[in-house]
Amino acid sequence: MDYNFQFNVIWRNFDTLLDGAWLTFQLGVFAFWGGALLGLVGAALKTYGPGPIRFLVDVYVVFMTNTPALIQVYFLYFGLPEVGIRWSSEACLLIGLTLNAGAYLTMIMRAGFLSVRKSEMEAGEALGMSLVQQIRYIIVPHIAKSIYPALANFFIVILVMGTSVGALIGVDELTGTAINLSTVNYRWLEYFTVIAGMYVVLTFIASIGLALLGRWAFRVKARIF
Amino acid sequence: MPHLAVNDVCAKYGSLEVLHGIGFEVDRGEVVSLVGPSGSGKSTVLRALVGLTPVTSGHVEVDGKKIDYGSSQAVKAARDRMAIVFQQYNLFQNMNVMRNVTLAPIKIKGRPKAQVEAKAIELLDLVGLSEKRDAYPDQLSGGQQQRVAIARALALEPEILLLDEVTSALDPELVNEVLDTIRRLAREGMTMILVSHEMSFVREVSSKVIFMDDGKVVESGPPAEIFDTPKSERARDFFGKILRH
Amino acid sequence: MERIWEQLPRFFTAGNMGLLADAALHTLSMTFVGCLAGFVFAFVLVFLRQTPGMWAAPLRMVCILYVEVFRRIPFLVVIYLVLFFIQAVTTDASLFTIAVVAICIYAIAYTAEIVRGGIESVPLTQVEAARAMNFSRLQTLVMVVLPQAMPVIIPPAIAFAVSFIKDTALVSQIGVFELTFRGKELNNKGFSGILVFGTIAMSYFIISFPLSMLGQYLEKRLATPRGERRLRKIWIP
């Protein structure tokens, strides 16, 4: 292989890459929280809702989890303008990712709902707790503890796999920025090696933060590695 | 010359030394029992003999041939001559009884398949399970599994059979079927070292009893001597506690 | 909306459907080949990772790093790295091959964790019994550990491969003629995005949904003490 690696030009544009990484992080956080909200509603409807609603939640989950996030985003970006809905590429990505994450998070949170045992609620009642107190002191801590590792893991998945989809509709997150910059000076290998490293660093920071948060807030031992 | 001589063996479990210089001798055809409080290192002696717990110093001699456990060849040589039966039977869950018994002789020792299978049927007969040869371990009771495990060890044609608390995991009504098998082997002149809590059985079957405490041999001798007139304070204390019941 | 109605007859032609069927075949075959190769290499990686001894410490580190690093890089970035790396070495590799290599590299990292979990689910006592009978490390793995680990490994490995079918959509970016690429092509020809990407989404769904059901079924069937025997019956009827 007679390829000469030249990293100089990458360091000159490193600020631009950092901007991309920052956007990646923001997109990941917003899509995750949007998805978490959707997932909470979805799981609650699936658990306590009437039959037809439960069926609709199932359809949503099964459809979103069996089709590519990329196609969902393409649908919003290339399809919706035909019916007069024009969103920016960032908006399409964020909405698409949120809807996609919502389906996966519905499954994760539903598992959490199911993990609360009736006996624990009864124990709470026996102690004279009100419903609000039961939710506050029994249900929420229990669910948080049982699904926190899955949530933390899923955040990393969105941060990495999810946001990079944006590169294909022109969002200048980390991968998109690298594509833009490399088409100018053709240092593809260098740019992509560097951003691969940046993704690793970014997700490590996120993992450590999540592990600390989990330990502090829910006394969960989440794995960093 | 003794059949097996254990000389000053030390063994480590992780970073913790559990055997501090063990020594004893076993003659051909003899049944030797290791007894003592739990945590005294009895099972570790058997595990060290087959190289499952690393030996840090000392060596053993089998028929005068030295095995120092320093190399994988030495460990192989030890495993060639001794076979172990575990408390939890440890039959291979993915194989039926016949394959459990025949796998190692065929694949590891390279013996002809027909000969090994004939021998396996003989051994299963000996332990009274020849009709179970196609069963899988999870279809057998604990006692049956343990008898298969004994047959599996015998199929390796070991010179010395090591039995590690082979009845401890069994329901009381299943203990006797396993003990009967061991009695039979003793009658046939099999050299055995056994770790057991069945004191009356130990007394009946052993030619020598070794009392261990804290990773050392405290005293050894014929069963009557060790059980009835122990010389050491610790042995008196131990037997006093367990034989009172 | 009228535009979609008007395009329907022109869109659902035998030619276009044949094109999509062929594209679906590309999607499936590259996922299958890539994940299968990844599955095999994952075993090698896990085996190397469990090499005992001080001298093997760097080897173990490399194996751990591989899994950790590739799980933290977007698949799209891996595709580009593989594309440009291979093109720097040789100009002969087809885009399909490049896609398969990228899928394989990614699949190794994910399946290695599944394989490791399966192997660690086999009790250590099984290994000890084999070692005490003079089985070598490799013999123990092949004859005793893997047969028992397989029922634990196979369902999640299939689930991974099935979910990865969707992620291979990103490979369209380097020009492999798979579903997403054909979708973009049809969209560029002037067909409605709603129509095209709706159809493409349905195509993925038709592939992915039954396979994921199969995965769940296998998981239920194999998650028993006799799973290994069932597995053998499925393989060798």
- pLDDT for B153 equals 93
Q: Compute the nearest-CA separation of A1 from chain C (Å).
A: 5
pLDDT of B163 > 90? The answer is: yes
- pLDDT for C226 equals 60
B210 membership: H or E segment, kind and range? strand B208-213
What number is the average pLDDT over the span A116-126? 75
Number of domains comprising chain C: 1
pLDDT per position as a tens digit, B181-234:
899 889 989 999 999 888 888 998 999 999 999 889 999 999 989 888 888 888
pLDDT per position as a tens digit, A68-95:
999 999 999 998 888 888 889 989 999 9
pLDDT of C234 > 70? The answer is: no
pLDDT of A119 > 80? The answer is: no
Tell whether A200 lies on the interface with C, counting CB pairs under 8 A.
yes
Query: Which one-letter amino acid corresponds to residue A91?
Result: A
pLDDT of B174 > 90? The answer is: no
Q: Identify the closest residue of chain C to A163 by CA–CA distance.
A: C74
Asked if B86 and C228 come within 8 Å (Cβ–Cβ), the reply is no
B192 membership: H or E segment, kind and range? strand B191-195
Tell whether C230 lies on the interface with A, counting CB pairs under 8 A.
no
Pick the more confident residue, C74 or A221. Answer: C74
CB atoms within 10 A of CB B175: 18
Instruction: Note the pTM of the prediction, 2 decimals.
Output: 0.82
Domains and CATH numbers, chain A: 8-218 (1.10.3720.10)
Regarding chains A and B, contact by 3 or more CB pairs under 8 A is answered as no
Tell me how far apart the alpha carbons of residues A174 and A202 are, in angstroms, rounded to a whole number: 11
Tell me how far apart the alpha carbons of residues A214 and A171 are, in angstroms, rounded to a whole number: 31
Q: What residues in C contact A79, CB-CB < 8 Å? A: 192-194, 196-198
pLDDT of A124 > 90? The answer is: no
Subunits next to B (3 or more Cβ pairs <8 Å) are: C
> In this structure, are residues A175 and C73 in contact, taking their beta carbons and an 8 Å threshold?
no
Tell which A residues from 201 to 220 touch C, by Cβ distance under 8 Å.
203-204
Q: What residues in C contact A67, CB-CB < 8 Å? A: 166, 201, 204-205, 208
> In this structure, are residues B89 and B48 in contact, taking their beta carbons and an 8 Å threshold?
no
A220 membership: H or E segment, kind and range? none
> In this structure, are residues A177 and A20 in contact, taking their beta carbons and an 8 Å threshold?
yes
- pLDDT for C237 equals 34
Q: What residues in B contact C147, CB-CB < 8 Å? A: 94
Eight-state DSSP code of residue A76: I
Asked if C73 and A175 come within 8 Å (Cβ–Cβ), the reply is no
Q: Which of A70, A79, A165 sits opposite C194 (nearest CB)?
A: A79
Give the residue from A1, A3, A71 with the most C CB atoms within 10 Å of its CB, the best one to mutate: A71
Pick the more confident residue, C178 or C224. Answer: C178
pLDDT per position as a tens digit, C159-207:
899 989 999 988 888 888 888 888 888 888 888 888 889 999 999 999 9
What number is the average pLDDT over the span C129-156? 90
Tokens coding B86: 């575990």
Tell me how far apart the alpha carbons of residues A41 and A64 are, in angstroms, rounded to a whole number: 16
What number is the average pLDDT over the span B21-46? 91
pLDDT per position as a tens digit, A2-46:
677 777 777 888 888 898 899 999 999 999 999 999 998 998 888
pLDDT of B117 > 70? The answer is: yes
Subunits next to A (3 or more Cβ pairs <8 Å) are: C
Q: Identify the closest residue of chain C to A186 by CA–CA distance.
A: C84
pLDDT per position as a tens digit, C98-142:
999 999 999 999 999 999 999 989 999 999 999 999 998 889 999
- pLDDT for A1 equals 58
Q: What residues in C contact B94, CB-CB < 8 Å? A: 144, 147-148, 228
Tell whether C215 lies on the interface with A, counting CB pairs under 8 A.
no
Asked if A200 and C69 come within 8 Å (Cβ–Cβ), the reply is yes
Q: Give the pLDDT band (50/70/90) at residue B112.
A: very high
Q: Identify the closest residue of chain C to A205 by CA–CA distance.
A: C72
- Main-chain phi, psi angles of A222, to 5 degrees: -90, 140
Pick the more confident residue, C229 or B208. Answer: B208
pLDDT per position as a tens digit, C3-45:
777 788 888 888 888 888 888 898 999 999 999 999 999 999 9
Q: Compute the nearest-CA separation of C87 from chain B (Å).
A: 46
Please choose, from the candidates A97, A115, A114, A90, the residue with its C-alpha nearest in 3D space to the C-alpha of residue A36.
A97
Tell me, what CATH number does C175's domain have?
A: 1.10.3720.10
Query: Which one-letter amino acid corresponds to residue A6?
Result: Q
Tokens coding C133: 């009978």
Tell me how far apart the alpha carbons of residues B190 and A223 are, in angstroms, rounded to a whole number: 52
pLDDT of A118 > 80? The answer is: no
Name the CA radius of gyration of chain C, rounded. Answer: 22
Mapped onto helix, strand or coil, the DSSP state of residue B31 is: strand
Q: Which of C64, C180, C196 sits opposite A70 (nearest CB)?
A: C180
pLDDT of C236 > 60? The answer is: no
Give me the domain span that covers residue C216. Answer: 2-235
Inter-CA distances, C84 with C33, C77, C99, C175, Å: 21, 11, 12, 14
Eight-state DSSP code of residue B208: E
What number is the average pLDDT over the span A112-136? 77
Q: Which of C125, C135, C225 sits opposite B86 (nearest CB)?
A: C125
- pLDDT for B243 equals 66
CB atoms within 10 A of CB B71: 10
Pick the more confident residue, C230 or A96. Answer: A96
Q: Give the pLDDT band (50/70/90) at residue C235.
A: very low
pLDDT of C1 > 80? The answer is: no
Please choose, from the candidates B232, B223, B218, the residue with its C-alpha nearest in 3D space to the C-alpha of residue B205.
B223
pLDDT of C231 > 80? The answer is: no
